[in-house]
């Protein structure tokens, strides 16, 4: 019984850490570093026959050159709507369309802008670590409850606590590594 309950706590804890890490990866994929990245359009939706539809579900998005993104909308009647949605989004790029294809030209980033983006990267990483620490706290609270009810001995609790910290340290190292890689990418000229 004790093994099943602690295994469930550990499993839930690991799952929470993986979700936080996956969220960090998805947040980083949207941050642009002077290069065209199709994922920057992932969160932009267009009103398509009364339904908000993500752009990637209604167009081909390709990288034409290092800093040019091309959006080929399948339904030509929606080109203007897609262009307008991109222009109104917060990605900071003005689209240009010729009636068939929408082009997004990513400007070269200034040193100041690169530093701002680096701060954003660090904030996302810190938010991820906070979520992970909260997951650790929740798991330890459950284990403390088990200890109070006599389902877990003092030694078993101490062992579980060390194991949870070890798992957290491994995940935090992954977060730091990913953050350092993203910072290098952003600062690269």
Note the pLDDT of residue 39.
77
User: Domain ends where: 55, 78, 105?
Assistant: 105
Give the sign of the dihedral formed by CA 175, CA 176, CA 181, CA 182: positive
One domain, residues 182 and 116 = yes
One domain, residues 143 and 121 = yes
pLDDT class for 32, splitting at 50, 70, 90? Answer: low
- Kindly report the CATH number assigned to the domain that includes residue 78: 3.30.1360.40
Q: How far apart are CA 161 and CA 90, in angstroms?
A: 43
CB of 81 closer than 8 Å to CB of 46 = yes
User: Domain ends where: 57, 72, 105?
Assistant: 105
One domain, residues 115 and 152 = yes
Q: What is the mean pLDDT of the chain?
A: 85
One domain, residues 6 and 70 = no
One domain, residues 43 and 136 = no
pTM: 0.70
One domain, residues 54 and 120 = no
Task: Calculate what percentage of the chain has a pLDDT beyond 70.
Answer: 96
User: Domain ends where: 105, 124, 149?
Assistant: 105
Nearest to 91 by CA among 38, 145, 156, 170: 38
Note the pLDDT of residue 186.
80
pLDDT class for 128, splitting at 50, 70, 90? Answer: very high
**45 pLDDT above the threshold of 90:** no
One domain, residues 21 and 45 = no
Q: Helix (H, G, I), strand (E, B), or coil: what is residue 78?
A: helix
- Kindly report the CATH number assigned to the domain that includes residue 134: 1.10.132.20
One domain, residues 146 and 114 = yes
One domain, residues 115 and 79 = no
Note the pLDDT of residue 33.
63
Helix or strand holding residue 5 (H, E): helix 2-30
Q: How far apart are CA 97 and CA 105, in angstroms?
A: 11
One domain, residues 50 and 92 = yes
pLDDT class for 46, splitting at 50, 70, 90? Answer: confident
**21 pLDDT above the threshold of 70:** yes
- List the domain range (segments joined by +) for residue 125: 2-30+110-187
Tell how many helices (H) and how many strands (E) occur in the chain.
4, 6
Q: How far apart are CA 17 and CA 23, in angstroms?
A: 10
The number of domains in the chain is 2
Note the pLDDT of residue 2.
56
From residue 179, give the alpha-carbon distance in Å to each of 49, 87, 120, 172, 174.
40, 29, 11, 10, 8
One domain, residues 53 and 94 = yes
Q: Other C-beta atoms within 10 Å of 180: how many?
A: 12
Phi-psi bin for 172: left (phi > 0), alpha (psi -120 to 50), beta?
alpha
86 exposed, middle or buried (CB, 10 Å; 0-12, 13-18, 19+)? buried
């Amino acid at each position: 019984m004790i093994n099943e309950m602690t295994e469930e706590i550990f499993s839930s804890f690991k799952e929470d850490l993986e979700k936080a890490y996956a969220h960090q990866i998805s947040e980083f994929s949207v941050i642009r570093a002077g290069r065209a990245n199709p994922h920057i359009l992932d969160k932009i939706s267009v009103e398509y026959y009364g339904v908000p539809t993500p752009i990637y579900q209604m167009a081909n998005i390709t990288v034409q050159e290092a800093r040019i993104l091309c959006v080929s909308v399948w339904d030509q009647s929606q080109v203007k709507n897609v262009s307008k949605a991109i222009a109104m989004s917060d990605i900071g790029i003005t689209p240009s369309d010729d009636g068939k294809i929408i082009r997004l030209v990513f400007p070269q980033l200034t040193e100041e802008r690169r530093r701002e983006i680096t701060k954003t990267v660090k904030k996302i990483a810190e938010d991820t670590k906070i979520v992970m620490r909260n997951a650790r706290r929740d798991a330890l609270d459950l284990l403390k409850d088990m200890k109070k009810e006599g389902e877990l001995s003092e030694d078993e609790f101490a062992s579980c606590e060390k194991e949870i910290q070890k798992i957290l340290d491994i995940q935090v190292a992954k977060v730091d590594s990913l953050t350092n890689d993203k910072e290098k990418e952003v600062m690269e000229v």
